[in-house]
Amino acid sequence: MRKAERTRRTAETVISCSINLDGTGENNIATSVGFLDHMLTLFAVHGRFDLNVSCQGDTWVDDHHSVEDIGIVLGICLADALGDKRGIRRYGSMWLPMDEALVLCALDLSGRTSMNMDVRFETEKIGTFDTQLIKEFFLGLTRACPMSLHFLKMAGENSHHIAEAMFKGFGRALSEAVEIDPRLNNAVPSSKGVLA
Ligand SMILES: [Mn+2]
């Protein structure tokens, strides 16, 4: 089983996270940011990752520090669980429809950070959640687990649906990328011999 866990404490947040890449989607998420709980649950269920996340953050300021730092700690756990990336497919992508919304998520576990989010939200807020924080979450994650991550919105009006399409699509694309390819025979999937 490819697993990792980490607790990270700063003056702004205390976060514990554990992930099993070879899970079934079991999850226990309590971040104090309700909309992010919903998104992380979708990520775990549709990616078939076992995921536990808890966060005590300075949400009296706003949700920014909590959301960004959860992205960082999840990224740390992903990188740790992946190790030297032997035998994995490396690439993954998903066109994820969610009602009227349609979002492409494509990623390469390249070891180099690149984040391109061509997604426009029609509202600044989803309930009390600031839609700008979705980019902060994925920036934190891709800095901690270096990958090329692209989101492209093809359709969508409802901000809740667009965000769901992103997190479900990320779960599905990542699940594909971390899958073991038996034909690789445990080799690193790079002509350079390393993915770092
Ligand atoms: Mn929903």
Q: Tens digit of pLDDT for each residue in 89-125?
A: 999 999 999 999 999 999 999 999 999 999 999 999 9
In contact, 16 and 35? CB cutoff 8 Å: no
Average pLDDT for residues 64-81, to the nearest whole number?
A: 98
**Mean pLDDT of the 115-137 span:** 97
CA of 189 to the centre of ligand 1 (A): 35
pLDDT-derived band at 193 (thresholds 50, 70, 90) equals: confident
pLDDT of residue 52: 98
CA of 16 to the centre of ligand 1 (A): 24
Cα–Cα distance, 61 to 63 (Å, whole number): 7
For residue 153, what is the enclosing H or E element?
strand 148-155
d(CA 165, CA 132): 16
What's the pLDDT at 196?
Answer: 81
The pTM (predicted TM-score) of the whole model is 0.97
Question: How far is the centre of ligand 1, averaged over its atoms, from the C-alpha of 153 (Å)?
Answer: 17
* Domain 3-184, CATH among 3.30.230.40, 2.60.40.10, 3.40.50.1100, 3.30.2270.10: 3.30.230.40
